[in-house]
A and B are shown apart, each in its own frame.
Chain A
Amino acid sequence: MAEKKKIKREKEPDITFYHPDLLEVPEDGLPYLKGYKCKKCGQLDFPKLTPCPTCWGEEFDMVPLSRRGILYSFSDLYIGQPGLKTPYICGYVDLPENIRIFAMLKGEVNTFKCDEEVELTTGPIRMNEDGLPIISYMFQKV
């Protein structure tokens, strides 16, 4: 009887960096978020929306977004998503480009205030399926 060939599928490693399309971390510079400007109607969005919901344009120019913004609102979360360590902090950050970003905030609970200035940073947002941290964008006090 012919021996059955065992096909062993190598599991692909899970991601450790969230979305290179949205976040750039230069080796010798500060991280920035990538906005996408529709070549047809000029609408700027983050995250990238395809097609452009306003004009259905399918081509975009990448625009680095401001690294600083205003913390519109926030919450210290004591009960969070399954698997995430609590407490953690989330907030809405308004950038000068008229874009609102939802992000985790790096810092201590009971310390953030509405309308204070925050800046982009990076940090672990969750663990991946291999037990390694996934790095993405976060904001912190200036």
Chain B
Amino acid sequence: MKLQRDVYIAGVGETVFGKHKMDYDELGRMAAFQAIKASNIQGPGMIESAYVGNAHNGIVTGQTIFKDIGICGTAPIINVESACSAGAMAVHLAIKDVAYGLTELSMGVGAENHTLRRKSGTAFMPAMNDIEAVHGGVMTGKYAMRATRYMHETGATQEDLALITQKSRRHAKNNPHAPFGGDYSIEEIVNSRLVAYPLTLHQCCGIVDGAGAVVVCSGDMIKKLGIEKPVKVRGSVVTSGPYHNRPRDITGDDITEMTSAMLYEESGIGPKDVDILELHDAFTIAELLYYECMQLCDKGDGLKFLRDGQATYGGQCVVSPRGGMLSYGHPIGASGAAQVAAQVKQLRGECTGYQVEPIPKVAMTHVTGGGLSGTEHAACTMHMLSSDW
């Protein structure tokens, strides 16, 4: 999307992630109201449109979240679904409204409660009209096959994959929003319960609940709100996954390669200039492959990039500074918006106990969506943000 004018993020909100008794609407409202207060918004009349990402919690989710906020009746509220990409897509659509001059201030929210509804001990899967789902396909299996192939081609081991978990858990250790942070040994990670060979439990994102929210606005509005640390949206890209039933290299990811290339071009910011990155690390293998797909390093050098410490504090790009999906868990419709919220807080230096130092200037987010057969992913949404003060 070519931004037609400057768009800024005024404020963000995120809930603690984990198993909640509060349903998605309460979580979503909590994150949204946090973002509203952080943006110095004085009343509901200032919010001109809202987009809400959710995957599994039913119908009119956005209106249900926003009814107490007081914009039902005054602003269009549009519900967005694209599996894991939904929350990021909601943020993208809010940006689009402001970028094209349709609104001065809009909101993107992602909210999801899985645990109130979902039977534990089962894996997420595409819809049953999908030919792979009928034949037993699940998301864990899809990523596990990528890991199997990657290990076959490169000689990488389960222990290598476990390094990703170890790093993410360490990043999340002092983040109060992340339930799975801590110091873990490689043995603990590799010896945890086998979910889908070669992926063990600690290499898979947890099924949890949570929400994230983002307020975006124009240049005039950011001044009017008196925001001291405006975060500029440098690029926002949504793509759909190339569809075909021919062999493809699953140690790559066509849609992530395509989307990141578009984002670099749109933002004028290259892969080596990104200070912090939240990506779709729903499973360890994904993060490893995406270093290469997003050109943080050359093809084939992903494991070296990790081992050399380039993806952690002091490295080229701190990947998953909040702890990623591996340490937050992954409420499907919420994660994309929560990633943006966490990155904005990093850029503003607000992450006491888990702040990346020196304070980063450029942040990127990436979240794919859905396991439609014939695609690597049905959707992908990426954002590029930078501090602008």
List chain A positions with a Cβ less than 8 A from chain B.
18, 45-47, 53, 72-82, 84, 88, 90-92, 94, 98-104, 109-110, 113-115, 125-126, 136
User: How far is the CB of A10 from the nearest CB of chain B, in Å?
Assistant: 24
CB-CB < 8 A to B247: which residues of A? Answer: 72, 94, 98-100
Closest 7 A/B residue pairs (Cβ): A75-B144, A114-B152, A73-B149, A73-B145, A76-B197, A82-B122, A102-B132
CA A81 to CA B250, docked complex, whole Å = 22
Q: Report yes or no: A79 in contact with B122, Cβ–Cβ below 8 A.
A: yes
CB-CB < 8 A to A114: which residues of B? Answer: 148-149, 152
User: How far is the CB of A49 from the nearest CB of chain B, in Å?
Assistant: 8
Q: Report yes or no: B246 in contact with A80, Cβ–Cβ below 8 A.
A: no
CA A115 to CA B297, docked complex, whole Å = 27
Q: Report yes or no: A81 in contact with B122, Cβ–Cβ below 8 A.
A: yes
From the candidates B133, B136, B145, name the one contacting A92 in the complex (CB within 8 A): B145
CA A77 to CA B197, docked complex, whole Å = 7
Can you name 13 extra interface pairs (CB under 8 A) apart from A78-B196, A94-B247?
A73-B145, A73-B152, A78-B193, A78-B195, A79-B123, A79-B196, A80-B123, A80-B141, A81-B136, A100-B248, A102-B137, A115-B152, A126-B136
Q: Report yes or no: A53 in contact with B131, Cβ–Cβ below 8 A.
A: no
Q: Report yes or no: B145 in contact with A125, Cβ–Cβ below 8 A.
A: no
- B135 beta carbon closer than 8 Å to chain A: yes
CA A45 to CA B247, docked complex, whole Å = 12
CB-CB < 8 A to B243: which residues of A? Answer: 53
User: How far is the CB of A129 from the nearest CB of chain B, in Å?
Assistant: 12
- Kindly report which residue of chain B lies nearest to residue A22, judged by CB atoms: B131
Residue among A82, A110, A136 facing the most chain B CB atoms (10 A cut-off): A82
CA A79 to CA B145, docked complex, whole Å = 14
Cβ contacts A to B, 13 pairs, < 8 Å: A72-B247, A75-B144, A78-B194, A79-B138, A79-B196, A90-B141, A98-B246, A99-B246, A99-B247, A100-B246, A104-B135, A115-B152, A136-B134
CB-CB < 8 A to A100: which residues of B? Answer: 245-248
CB-CB < 8 A to A72: which residues of B? Answer: 149, 247, 250
Q: Report yes or no: B145 in contact with A126, Cβ–Cβ below 8 A.
A: no
Q: Report yes or no: A90 in contact with B148, Cβ–Cβ below 8 A.
A: no
Q: B239-271, CB under 8 A of A: which get 1 and which 0? A: 000010111101000000000000000000000
Q: Number of A-B pairs whose CB atoms are under 8 Å?
A: 107
CA A78 to CA B140, docked complex, whole Å = 10
Residue among B119, B246, B373 facing the most chain A CB atoms (10 A cut-off): B246
Q: Report yes or no: A81 in contact with B123, Cβ–Cβ below 8 A.
A: yes
Q: Report yes or no: B196 in contact with A73, Cβ–Cβ below 8 A.
A: no
User: Which B residues, 183 to 210, have Cβ-Cβ distances below 8 Å to chain A?
Assistant: 193-199
Q: Report yes or no: A136 in contact with B125, Cβ–Cβ below 8 A.
A: no
CB-CB < 8 A to A88: which residues of B? Answer: 136
CA A79 to CA B139, docked complex, whole Å = 11
User: How far is the CB of A56 from the nearest CB of chain B, in Å?
Assistant: 14
Q: Report yes or no: B136 in contact with A75, Cβ–Cβ below 8 A.
A: no
CB-CB < 8 A to A136: which residues of B? Answer: 134-135
- B280 beta carbon closer than 8 Å to chain A: no
CB-CB < 8 A to A90: which residues of B? Answer: 135-137, 141, 145
Q: B132-169, CB under 8 A of A: which get 1 and which 0? A: 11111110110011111100100000000000000000
From the candidates A18, A75, A109, name the one contacting B141 in the complex (CB within 8 A): A75
CB-CB < 8 A to B146: which residues of A? Answer: 73
CB-CB < 8 A to B141: which residues of A? Answer: 75, 77, 80, 90
Q: Report yes or no: A47 in contact with B145, Cβ–Cβ below 8 A.
A: no
Q: Report yes or no: A79 in contact with B125, Cβ–Cβ below 8 A.
A: no
- B121 beta carbon closer than 8 Å to chain A: yes
CA A81 to CA B373, docked complex, whole Å = 16
Contacts A73-B145, A73-B146, A79-B121 given; does A103 touch B135 at CB 8 Å:
yes
Residue among B123, B198, B199 facing the most chain A CB atoms (10 A cut-off): B123
User: How far is the CB of A103 from the nearest CB of chain B, in Å?
Assistant: 6
Q: Report yes or no: B197 in contact with A75, Cβ–Cβ below 8 A.
A: yes
CB-CB < 8 A to A80: which residues of B? Answer: 122-123, 136, 138, 141
User: How far is the CB of A75 from the nearest CB of chain B, in Å?
Assistant: 4
CB-CB < 8 A to B245: which residues of A? Answer: 45-47, 99-101
- Kindly report which residue of chain A lies nearest to residue B130, judged by CB atoms: A102
User: How far is the CB of A22 from the nearest CB of chain B, in Å?
Assistant: 8
User: How far is the CB of A81 from the nearest CB of chain B, in Å?
Assistant: 5
User: How far is the CB of B196 from the nearest CB of chain A, in Å?
Assistant: 5
- Kindly report which residue of chain B lies nearest to residue A113, judged by CB atoms: B152
Q: Report yes or no: B149 in contact with A102, Cβ–Cβ below 8 A.
A: no
- Kindly report which residue of chain A lies nearest to residue B152, judged by CB atoms: A114
CB-CB < 8 A to A77: which residues of B? Answer: 123, 136, 138, 140-141, 144, 195-197
Contacts A99-B245, A100-B245 given; does A91 touch B145 at CB 8 Å:
yes
CA A46 to CA B247, docked complex, whole Å = 12
